[in-house]
Amino acid sequence: MRHLDVHPLKGTAMGPRLRSLTLGGVSAAVIVALLATPVSAQPLPEPTALIAPQSENTADPAVTLEPTVTSEPSEPSDPKLVLPGQPRAAVGAAAAPGSEVPAGKWATLSGQIMLGDVPFANSPFTLVNHWAFESGETTHWRTDAQGKFSARVSAGLYAVNYEPPAPFYTSANYEDAVEVRAGATVALGKIQAKRGVEIGGTMTLPPGFSIGEIFELGVENAAGTNSWRTTQSRVNATTVTWRATVPAGKYRVAFSRGDRDFEPQWWKNAKTSASATLVTVVAGKPQLALNATLATRGSTLSGRVLDSSGKPVAGAEVSASGPNGASSTAQTTGSTGAFMLAGLSAGAWTVSVRAPYTQGAWLSRPQWYSGAAFEKDATKIVIASGAPTHRTGIDIKMLATGSVSGTVSVRGTGGLVRTHLIPVGVEPERDNNWDTANYGTSFLAEGLVPGKYNVYFSGPTGRLQPVPATDGNPRTVTVVAGKTVSLNLVLRFGGFIIDSGNGALEFVDADTGAIVDRAYMDGKYVSGTVLAGSRVKIRDRDGEPRYVPGNTTAANARIFTVTEGSYQPVNINNSTRTSISGRVTDAGGAAVSGAQVELHVYQEWGGYTTEFAAYTGPDGRYSFTGLRVTTQYQVFVRSENPLRESRWYGGNGGNDGYTGATALWPADTTPITGVNIVLGAVGAARGSISGSGSVEDSYRISAVAVDGSGRTYSTWSPRVKDASWTLPGLRPGDYTLRIERRIREVTSVVLERKITVKAGAWTDTGQLSETKPAITAQPKAVSAAVGARATLSVTASGPSLSYRWQQRAAGSSGSGGWSDVAYATAPTLTVTPKSVAADNKREYRVIIFNAVGSVTSATAILTVPKAKSGAITVKAPAKATYGSPVAVPVQVARAAGAKADATGTVRAYSGTAEVAKATLSGGKATLSVPVSALGVGTRALRFAYAGTAEVDGVSTNASIVVAKATATVTGTVPATIKPKARPVIPVSVTAGKTPATGKVTVTFARNGSKPVTVTANLSAGKAQITTPSLAATGSYTVTVAYAGSGNVSAKTQRVGTFSLR
């Protein structure tokens, strides 16, 4: 869906207040259809800047920010404001929409935009005025470092919107708006923005196509009532990235709905909305890989544009016209000169090309394929019916051209006129392809094919007339290839004020019968651009031609001689008339001669139009005669001197609109005299811009007063190398000089600097260049515990900066692995680590960009320390006996701020040797310490908690007194042993469960015989005793004597008896 914006233009001294209807969007529109309806919203306003709005002020929020205005607002009716989700409230004095605001009666709106408890800092937003049809105001702003703003606005009914790339959305519905009235100061408090989810991808066109500088992404529900807008940034000549912010839900993404250039295409190459793959958007999960390559529709023509020497021409505009008025979308050539025209139907087509800007404000005249200067000589390309065809090799070699530059000096009643150069032999107004024209006092026509041209002019009605052969005016000019011819004209005018009914009037030269002017009537007509000295007849062309007076014939018509500087009344309807006169002087009282005085007439639709213009005489006097009574007028003096102000009678100096101007309302025929205007001394600024020379670009140069008055002076300049500019009539004071680059519909700030203007003097800026972002303070490494906050910050210079923070996990190498941090579009980034494992040593950087370029910061590392463990408590027994394990209870307290008990392993160490370990459960564990490994005595143990990935370890010491163990001696003795047999008797000595070490002595004794002993060393607490040779039979007793050790007491134990027989 394409958005329809209606913006009335500010009524200025440049001419009438106009209403302008603009249809946004281009063929490569991107549409997202909302299936679920999580939120209701209206189309977002057209952004003034692609990535960053034009007003940036991070100082004290009490400072009033100056907006960049989409459509030069008048100082409109009585101010209003409404924010989403708040009830409508009226503030200030009531006034009807469209009424004029008295001087100084702007409203001030202030507030703070929040994202939960975090300020919406240094970010763009829009105040959408639902009275825009009356007041013409949609303004773009930026919050300060605390998310605060203070906006000076006109009367209106306002809602807040957020501009991409900010990942937020809100309703801009009329029902949610807040009304603010004239002179009011409205504090809005905290305004909660709604987080959205960023979606986007890339869109690629075939080679030779140029992507429009803005295309739109709408978000629609099934009823088509909701929409969102995209931003885009060029990747190369045929590819852009696009972004939009939407609430969670399901969507259809349409990259083309099937215009004349491209086939219909939805996400994943679907050809219809019904078959489109749904994109499911989940909160907190951006989707940035919704990519598409568009396919052309119909037949195509492709080729290159070359200059006269055969070199490629970049920035040339190529288009084609075909059967039955068909035409192609114009394409702009890239560095190779390549172009492609699509969507062509069967039939004969002519291809035309215009060269790019080089210095002036005009495009070159068109040339045609192949090498034709006139369309009638163009080579037609025939496309056959049937299946689409793709013709290549349509190369256009442009003819060598020349140019004409000059000035137009207007005298008498005329205002701005248009100068026309038309080749000799071409009939004016019939072959408009050669109507080279420009409004203003100076002109430059480039790209003219060598030859002779007739010089014409036209006034507001557009009727072409030959330049008079007076004042040395040349009637023709000869253009030479590679050269610029000078042409300076002087035009002297008089005019008529005609009171008539509805119909069409023509002014006819009484001598030649040529029509010198014409107009359609609606009650009255004012003509100020009839050549002085002309003899004209006036006729009514409704039905049979009838002449003035009295509907007579041509032969009886009155002949009017046009007098320079005079308006002759022609009162066809016998209306009552009066006059307005006065004098123009400077601040010292001296007469100002040659100043243009404009009379603005109030219209029924509520605005003023400029209908009379005159020049002051040597005495500074002027006069308007033949004026209707009971009509409201205002007088404006336009100074030709850049160091002298222009001024409204009774009102402001400069071009500040009608605010404060005195309305003149004659009630009868009594002349209104003494309408005197004093022009004060002012300053002016001038300089030049070093641009790229692109055909699509131009600059807007503005001086914005820093005193909070809202005064803004603007001019336009083509974006060419070393293009010069001037800003005349600046009141003395300090200004922000702001240069905005306009590429098609997009305007972006590319330079800002402070200038001081003094009365009666020029302020020279010299040559200026677009300013890329520059980092003056890199982000530094930070540290934060889990759950705590750490703030990264960057400081950069440059106009209208936007920020995109990125991150990657620890251990990444090279340049890859970076991903955008959601919602991170401010100079500062606050991070809250979730865990040590995930976030320790995480890397961050920020890309800072504006319309001129971008810069990437150095990498800053986030350190996330482990949490400090709680204390470890050990309940070791005071004493223990060697040989048996000891149960030692251990408890590890929770870490500070932890919501769960400690987990992991605790260990016991003797020296550096681990002697026991256990796993914590509920923060507790019991270690079984094998004291046999410790030895008898007082033993120091270290009990240690190793911690986890998120928590540090902790340890403590404890002592255990280990006493000697009592040995347990056992042996297995057979009941009977035969003589001479020597069986083995196993012997075991343990201390608890621990095998003893040392020696045992085994004694075999029989009553009346000497005992026999055998000694053996214990191995693992055991010994194998071989029965010795015993001579006498009888009963023997076996006794084992354990000698003891450092850890076990000695012990003798009878282990058994046997009979030797």
Looking at the structure, tell me whether residues 914 and 943 fall in a common domain: yes
Looking at the structure, tell me whether residues 730 and 664 fall in a common domain: no
Would the pLDDT of 954 be above 70? yes
pLDDT of 102:
37
Mean pLDDT value across residues 498-520: 76
DSSP character string of 949-1003: SSB--EEEEEEEEEEPBPEEEEE---SEE-TT---EEEEEEEETTEEP-SEEEEE
Residue 892 is part of which domain span? 872-963
Q: Are 747 and 700 in contact (CB under 8 A)?
A: yes
pLDDT of 32:
32
pLDDT of 75:
30
**Tens-place pLDDT, residues 278-306:** 888 888 788 888 888 888 888 999 999 99
Question: What average pLDDT does the chain have?
Answer: 76
**Tens-place pLDDT, residues 875-888:** 988 888 887 788 99
pLDDT of 781:
95
Answer yes or no: is 840 within a domain: yes
Model confidence at 822, pLDDT cuts 50, 70, 90, reads: confident
Looking at the structure, tell me whether residues 374 and 458 fall in a common domain: no
**Tens-place pLDDT, residues 726-776:** 888 888 999 999 888 766 445 678 888 999 999 999 999 988 888 889 999
Q: Which of 86 and 586 is assigned the larger pLDDT?
A: 586
From 769, 789, 814, give the residue that closes a domain: 769
pLDDT of 167:
53
What is the Cα–Cα distance from 748 to 658, expressed in whole angstroms?
29
Would the pLDDT of 943 be above 90? yes
Q: How much of the chain exceeds pLDDT 70, in percent?
A: 75
Q: Are 703 and 736 in contact (CB under 8 A)?
A: yes
Q: Does a cis peptide bond (omega within 30 degrees of 0) precede residue 165? A: yes
pLDDT of 355:
74
Q: Which residues pair with 999 in a beta bridge?
A: 1017
**Tens-place pLDDT, residues 169-228:** 544 333 456 777 767 788 888 887 777 788 888 888 777 676 544 444 455 544 455 555
Model confidence at 21, pLDDT cuts 50, 70, 90, reads: very low
Q: Does a cis peptide bond (omega within 30 degrees of 0) precede residue 370? A: yes
Q: Which of 102 and 54 is assigned the larger pLDDT?
A: 102
Looking at the structure, tell me whether residues 499 and 362 fall in a common domain: no
pLDDT of 613:
75
Model confidence at 721, pLDDT cuts 50, 70, 90, reads: low
Tokens representing 625?
């005669």
Looking at the structure, tell me whether residues 275 and 309 fall in a common domain: no
Q: Are 499 and 524 in contact (CB under 8 A)?
A: yes
Give the number of domains in the chain.
9
Answer yes or no: is 562 within a domain: yes
Q: Which of 241 and 326 is assigned the larger pLDDT?
A: 326
Q: Residue 345 is part of a domain; what is its CATH number?
A: 2.60.40.10
From 750, 769, 788, give the residue that closes a domain: 769
Q: Are strands 954-963 and 723-730 parallel, antiparallel or unpaired?
A: unpaired
Answer yes or no: is 31 within a domain: no
pLDDT of 97:
31
Q: Residue 600 is part of a domain; what is its CATH number?
A: 2.60.40.1120
Least confident of 94-103, 328-337, 614-623: 94-103
Answer yes or no: is 722 within a domain: yes
Q: Give the angle 809-814-820 at the CA atoms, nearest 5°.
A: 45
Looking at the structure, tell me whether residues 537 and 566 fall in a common domain: yes
Looking at the structure, tell me whether residues 549 and 449 fall in a common domain: yes
Q: Which of 688 and 15 is assigned the larger pLDDT?
A: 688
Model confidence at 559, pLDDT cuts 50, 70, 90, reads: very high
Looking at the structure, tell me whether residues 327 and 220 fall in a common domain: no
Least confident of 429-433, 552-556, 704-708: 429-433
Predicted TM-score (pTM) of the model is 0.51
**Tens-place pLDDT, residues 426-448:** 877 655 555 566 666 777 777 78
Answer yes or no: is 2 within a domain: no
Segment of 537-551, 602-616, 645-659, 676-690 carrying the highest mean pLDDT: 676-690
Looking at the structure, tell me whether residues 205 and 254 fall in a common domain: yes
Tokens representing 714?
């603007």
What is the Cα–Cα distance from 387 to 178, expressed in whole angstroms?
57
Least confident of 158-162, 902-906, 952-956, 959-963: 158-162
pLDDT of 236:
58
Looking at the structure, tell me whether residues 759 and 820 fall in a common domain: no
**Tens-place pLDDT, residues 29-79:** 232 322 222 222 222 222 222 222 222 322 222 222 222 223 223 332 222
Would the pLDDT of 453 be above 80? yes
pLDDT of 917:
93
Q: Which of 532 and 51 is assigned the larger pLDDT?
A: 532
The DSSP code for 661 is P
Q: Are strands 546-547 and 535-540 parallel, antiparallel or unpaired?
A: antiparallel
Segment of 226-240, 597-611, 702-716 carrying the highest mean pLDDT: 702-716
The DSSP code for 145 is T
pLDDT of 547:
81
What is the Cα–Cα distance from 256 to 498, expressed in whole angstroms?
53
Would the pLDDT of 983 be above 70? yes
What is the Cα–Cα distance from 18 to 387, expressed in whole angstroms?
47
Would the pLDDT of 527 be above 70? no
pLDDT of 53:
27
Q: Which helix (H) or strand (E) holds 302?
A: strand 299-306
Least confident of 547-561, 564-578, 908-922: 564-578
Mean pLDDT value across residues 857-866: 94
Answer yes or no: is 1 within a domain: no
CA separation, residue 1020 to residues 913, 928, 1023, 1055 (Å): 22, 22, 8, 19
Q: Are 633 and 600 in contact (CB under 8 A)?
A: yes
Least confident of 53-67, 94-108, 633-647: 53-67
Looking at the structure, tell me whether residues 242 and 324 fall in a common domain: no
pLDDT of 30:
33
Mean pLDDT value across residues 787-791: 92
Model confidence at 724, pLDDT cuts 50, 70, 90, reads: confident
Mean pLDDT value across residues 822-833: 87
pLDDT of 731:
86
Looking at the structure, tell me whether residues 563 and 443 fall in a common domain: yes
Tokens representing 214?
């803005």
The DSSP code for 827 is S
Q: Which residues pair with 281 in a beta bridge?
A: 249
Answer yes or no: is 24 within a domain: no
Would the pLDDT of 235 be above 90? no
Answer yes or no: is 640 within a domain: yes
Q: Which of 953 and 194 is assigned the larger pLDDT?
A: 953
Residues 6+ apart with CB under 8 A from 719: 357, 689, 691, 692, 693, 694, 697, 698, 699, 741, 742
Would the pLDDT of 562 be above 80? yes
**Tens-place pLDDT, residues 340-371:** 998 899 999 999 998 765 433 344 578 889 88
The closest alpha carbon to 178, from 298, 243, 109, 86, belongs to 86
From 679, 703, 718, give the residue that closes a domain: 679
Would the pLDDT of 24 be above 60? no
